């Protein structure tokens, strides 16, 4: 029987204890017998058993290529693949829009650059970006700028408040054709004023693409409600598998897009001297698609649908704020971000004298998985005149006790080695 | 595999590390060894002393003692990385340039450090070690 939105139960408030039971990896012992405390969720989240089972079941019982073939397995695989697309459209409030599967957020932004911007921008046009962007939302535009002679305008952010300079944005967006902006910073956790950015962008007659990779784990986003033109997301940062993401596209923008890659699923008819293309999302999904991954992502959305998303957001924010309070008590510790309502559950920090790599190594030896480095946001870090930070990031299965243990271990290491 | 006969001072370090309780203790020992290196002052960090492919800013300078034997100066902003440079300096101290050229980097494995080093850090160590051997070879030219 086909999936319907009624299959999702009424969401209940998050129970961390119940949620944790579905993640076998959280029981892992690492290194010299230390219990794993996984605090690197902004890089990738762990996967619930339901996602692992869905992908395993697909390969055990259904594996087949989708579309076109006239046999039972192909039909079942096609239904499951397209059902996942439908689930995602419902989840993100995009039922009247297009959802193109990509390999992740990076490919989604590259797809927007190749399929929309390359076709619709000409020499002298401008794209507005922010200094908060992930490299995935910088480099594709630099490549396009070089190829097409397009101007890139940068919106700065304040080093004290960690907020975008919206006055500068309002000036930069005038006459621009596209705005590419991160919804929630993967380094600072700051949620940008998306509603104002959308309003100013559309008043200027420009289109907006949002990098929502860090927002999706704790926000359903409501693509059509927000009125965004394009939105890029990854499955693996919200309980789904790696290797798949999506670009959500509103209909008017989709109609202006040209195919990026040719072959496979995107064609309608091929002749020796020309080809015609599919008119739906398949036009932008060349080759055999990510079938098992799409099914796994659909299972992740089913799993997420049991929890009230606002309670998921509140839980992550509470853990982040508790972390900040604990880290502030450590002498010489610098914290990046404001950790206000709406922000992601991400805390970047750096000790004055203990190198980020050394702190991470000492914590790793104690079982803590944290991230260290430039977080693919070198221009952002350069603004602070630093090359790296440490970063902890939470998801719905992290506990208050884990935060306490992390703070205790970090305090101990800093006291001993800083 | 034949057992390698390590220089005596390196062997002592290897034995200490092998006897450590866990990787926490090994990191602690590495951290302390960082202070033992003949430290290359920040003012002498240049593009030619820089170790590429290392997550931290690490620098090494191959030198000769008055008797013509090998001596290594080094430093890094990460003390754990500087600890690895320090051990390497101890391992190679006083060897001939020919001996440096054929010295195996496998002492980190015997110290139980390779498992504790993430792949990127392990690559950084090998990059550092190869640079030291390369610089040593240039001294002999």
Domain ranges within chain A, ordered by starting residue: 12-41+308-417, 55-304
Interchain CB contacts (distance < 8 Å): A and B: 45
User: Positive or negative, the Cα torsion across A275, A280, A285, A290?
Assistant: negative
A31 touches chain B (CB under 8 A): yes
Residues in chain B within 8 Å Cβ distance of A364: 23, 118
A262 to chain B, any CB pair closer than 8 A? The answer is: no
Which tokens hold the place of A376?
Answer: 């693919």
Which chain B residues contact residue A33 at CB under 8 A?
22
Contact between chains at B23 and A365 (C-beta distance less than 8 A): yes
Do B121 and A361 make contact, defined as CB atoms within 8 angstroms? yes
* Min Cα–Cα distance to chain B from A273, Å: 48
Whether B73 contacts chain A with CB within 8 A? no
Using CA atoms, how far apart are residues B104 and A383, in angstroms rounded to an integer? 42
The catalytic residues of A are 376
Residues 6+ apart with CB under 8 A from A363: A370, A406, A409, A410, A413
Q: Report all structural domains of chain B as residue ranges with CATH numbers, in order of start.
A: 8-140 (3.90.1010.10)
Q: Is any Cβ of chain B less than 8 angstroms from the Cβ of A95? A: no
A297 and chain B: CB distance < 8 Å anywhere?
A: no
Q: Which fold has domain A12-41+308-417?
A: 3.90.1150
The per-residue pLDDT string of chain A (418 residues; one tens digit each, 9 = 90 and over) reads 689 999 999 999 999 999 999 999 999 999 889 999 999 999 999 999 999 999 999 999 999 999 877 899 999 999 999 999 999 999 999 999 999 999 999 999 999 999 999 999 999 999 999 999 999 999 999 999 999 999 999 999 999 999 999 999 999 999 999 999 999 999 999 999 999 999 999 999 999 999 999 999 999 999 999 999 999 999 999 999 999 999 999 999 999 999 999 998 898 999 999 999 999 999 999 999 999 999 999 999 999 999 999 999 999 999 999 999 999 999 999 999 999 999 999 999 999 999 999 999 999 999 999 999 899 999 999 999 999 999 999 999 999 999 999 999 999 999 999 9
Q: Are A357 and B56 an interchain contact pair (Cβ–Cβ within 8 Å)?
A: yes
How many residues make up chain B in this entry?
141
Q: Residue A267: which of A252, A257, A254, A280 has the closest Cα?
A: A280
Separation between Cα atoms, residue A65 and residue A57, nearest integer Å: 15
Tell me how long chain A is. Answer: 418
ipTM for the predicted complex comes to 0.89
Contact list in A for residue B56 (CB cut-off 8 A) is 355, 357
Question: Which CATH code is given to the segment(s) A55-304?
Answer: 3.40.640.10
């Amino acid at each position: 029987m086909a999936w319907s939105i009624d299959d999702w139960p009424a969401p209940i408030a998050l129970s961390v204890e119940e949620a944790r039971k579905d993640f076998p990896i959280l029981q892992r012992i690492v290194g010299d017998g230390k219990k794993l405390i996984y605090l690197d969720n902004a890089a990738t989240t762990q996967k619930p058993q339901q996602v692992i089972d869905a992908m395993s079941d697909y390969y055990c019982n259904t594996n087949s290529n989708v579309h076109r073939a006239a046999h039972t397995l192909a039909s079942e695989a096609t239904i499951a693949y397209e059902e996942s697309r439908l689930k995602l459209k419902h989840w993100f409030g995009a039922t009247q829009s297009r959802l193109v599967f990509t390999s992740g957020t990076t490919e989604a932004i590259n797809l927007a650059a190749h399929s929309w911007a390359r076709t619709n921008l000409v020499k002298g046009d401008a794209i507005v970006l922010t200094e908060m962007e992930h490299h995935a939302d910088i480099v594709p535009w630099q490549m396009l700028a070089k190829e097409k002679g397009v101007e890139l305008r940068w919106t700065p952010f304040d080093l004290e408040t960690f907020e975008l300079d919206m006055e500068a944005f309002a000036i930069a967006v005038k006459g621009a054709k596209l705005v590419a902006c991160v919804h929630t910073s993967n380094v600072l956790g700051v949620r940008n004023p998306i509603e104002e950015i959308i309003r100013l962008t559309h008043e200027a007659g420009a289109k907006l693409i949002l990098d929502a990779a860090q927002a999706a784990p704790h926000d359903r986003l409501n693509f059509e409600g927000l009125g965004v033109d394009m939105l890029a997301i990854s499955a693996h940062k919200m309980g789904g598998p790696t290797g798949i993401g999506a670009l959500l596209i509103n209909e008017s923008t989709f109609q202006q897009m040209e195919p990026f890659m040719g072959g496979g699923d995107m064609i309608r008819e091929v002749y020796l001297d020309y080809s015609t293309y599919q008119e739906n999302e398949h036009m932008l999904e060349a080759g055999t698609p990510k079938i098992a991954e799409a099914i796994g992502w659909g299972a992740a959305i089913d799993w997420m649908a049991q929890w009230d998303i606002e309670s998921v957001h509140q839980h992550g924010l509470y853990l982040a704020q508790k972390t900040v309070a604990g880290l502030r008590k450590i002498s010489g510790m610098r914290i990046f971000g404001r950790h206000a309502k709406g922000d992601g559950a991400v805390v970047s920090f750096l000790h004055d004298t203990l190198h980020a790599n050394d702190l991470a190594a000492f914590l790793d030896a104690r079982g803590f998985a944290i991230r260290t480095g430039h977080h693919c946001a070198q221009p952002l870090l350069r603004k602070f005149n630093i090359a790296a930070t440490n970063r902890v990031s939470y998801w719905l299965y992290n506990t208050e006790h884990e935060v306490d243990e992390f703070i205790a271990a970090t305090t101990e290491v800093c006291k001993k080695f800083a | 595999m034949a057992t390698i006969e390590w220089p005596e001072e390196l062997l002592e370090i290897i034995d200490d590390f092998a006897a450590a309780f866990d990787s926490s203790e090994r990191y602690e020992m590495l951290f302390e060894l960082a202070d033992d290196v003949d430290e290359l002052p920040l003012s002498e960090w240049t593009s030619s002393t820089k170790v590429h492919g290392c997550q931290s800013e690490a620098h090494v300078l191959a030198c000769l003692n008055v008797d013509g034997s090998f001596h290594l100066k080094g430093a890094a902003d990460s003390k754990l990385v500087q600890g690895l440079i320090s051990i390497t300096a101890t391992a190679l101290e006083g060897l001939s340039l020919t001996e440096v050229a054929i010295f195996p980097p496998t002492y980190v494995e015997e110290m139980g450090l390779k498992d504790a080093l993430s792949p990127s850090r392990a690559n950084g160590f090998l990059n550092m070690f190869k640079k030291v051997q390369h610089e040593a070879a240039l001294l002999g030219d």
